[in-house]
Amino acid sequence: MPTLDWIGKDAVVEHHKNVPYHLLRCDPDLSVGEASSGSAQSGVRVAGLFAANRQR
């Protein structure tokens, strides 16, 4: 089976280990509406808001 190989591939493959991350915490002062139960619908709403703002 063919493989893909290029200069710098190791850096690309391992990049996710070097990216800093943090857990998202809810800030009630910045929230709008009721707290979500963590359902997929809240993600759809957020994606819809981003899409609506891009079209402006």
What's the pLDDT tens digit per position in 5-14? 889 998 888 8
Report the distance separating Cα 40 and Cα 25, nearest Å: 17
Say if residue 25's pLDDT is above 80.
Answer: yes
Torsion sign, CA atoms 30, 55, 50, 21 = negative
Predicted TM-score (pTM) of this structure: 0.29
Confidence of residue 28 (pLDDT cuts 50, 70, 90): confident
